[in-house]
Amino acid sequence: MLIVDRVEKSYRKGGFISSERQHVLKGISFECKQGECLGIIGESGSGKSTLGRLILGIEKPNRGTIWFEGKNVTDRRARSGNISAVFQDYTSSINPFYSVEEAIMEPLRLRKISKRDIQNNIDALLDQVGLNPSYRKKYPHDLSGGETQRVCIARAVSTEPKCIVLDEAISSLDGSVQFQVLELLKSLRNMYNMGFIFITHDIQAAAYICDRVMIIRNGQIEEMVKVEQLKDVQSAYAKQLLQMIMT
Ligand SMILES: Nc1ncnc2c1ncn2[C@@H]1O[C@H](COP(=O)(O)OP(=O)(O)OP(=O)(O)O)[C@@H](O)[C@H]1O
């Protein structure tokens, strides 16, 4: 489904006049199957979010290609409705002037779906994320963090994408709410057979939801392991990182 092929990304260091560049991703290649959940773990600044943005097609790689079902993700038609995202900062993910229903409707409006179907969809989506229809008319300031993130998730699944990039999507939530949202993601994944790219610092959350985990270091893949083998990682760096995250 998703093929990341020798992707490189660099940014200009120190403003527009500088010719020096910071190489953030240095030849990343991996594949992700339909319905698979791939965790991405790494130290702060290792390039996880940059990789997430490239998969979403928000930014372009300097070298290499990201293919989604045979099409380059930089082509909007390849990703439209097929790949969506949930970010850590749910407060800025939703327009504060949009009601819950308007926020969920946003991606659906771009598709040729009748108004009536959209309305019916909203109730079903709210139900799937554990919110009752009374939430339709609420605004972000009326919602708790967990409820807002549920709305973001409802919006992300509204087009029934094949893949969702979740970038630290549960990190800003309290412990018990984190678990509820993880459970929700797990059940939605089974319901829609969608794949997740799960970017996180939370090894326990990754172990709970992911099939495989990629450990990234300085813009390169250090190790890729099946979740059952997380405790048997090979490289000294991966061992140290996992130890550090767990304590
Ligand atoms: N738009 C940008 N312009 C310049 N530098 C950037 C840009 N985006 C990211 N970087 C740099 O790229 C590096 C990797 O950033 P990235 O956000 O991908 O790391 P990360 O692994 O997601 O970190 P964290 O866990 O802290 O979120 C950082 O040094 C960051 O400053």
pLDDT at 233 over 80: yes
Residue nearest to atom 25 of ligand 1 (CA): 44
Is residue 92 lining ligand 1, measured as CB closer than 6 Å?
no
Q: Say if residue 138's pLDDT is above 90.
A: yes
Note the pLDDT tens digit of each residue in 1-21.
899 999 999 998 877 677 788
Atom of ligand 1 nearest to the CA of 219: 14
State the Cα–Cα distance between residues 189 and 184, nearest whole angstrom. Answer: 8
pLDDT tens-digit readout, 20-62 = 889 999 999 999 999 999 999 999 999 999 999 999 999 999 9
* % of the chain at pLDDT higher than 70: 99
User: Mean of the per-residue pLDDT values for the chain?
Assistant: 91
- For ligand 1, whether the C-beta of 14 sits within 6 Å is no
Q: Is 88 in the pocket of ligand 1 (CB under 6 A)?
A: no
- For 162-186, give one letter per residue: b (16+ CB within 10 A) or e: bbbbbbbbbebbeeebbebbbebbe
**In this predicted structure, which of 63-67, 214-218, 228-232 has the lowest mean pLDDT?**
228-232
11 lines ligand 1 (CB under 6 A): yes
The helix (run of H) or strand (run of E) holding residue 4 is strand 2-12
pLDDT at 154 over 80: yes
Q: pLDDT by residue (tens digit) across 156-209?
A: 998 889 999 999 998 888 888 888 889 989 988 988 899 999 999 988 899 999
Is the shortest distance between the CB of 49 and ligand 1 below 6 Å? Answer: yes
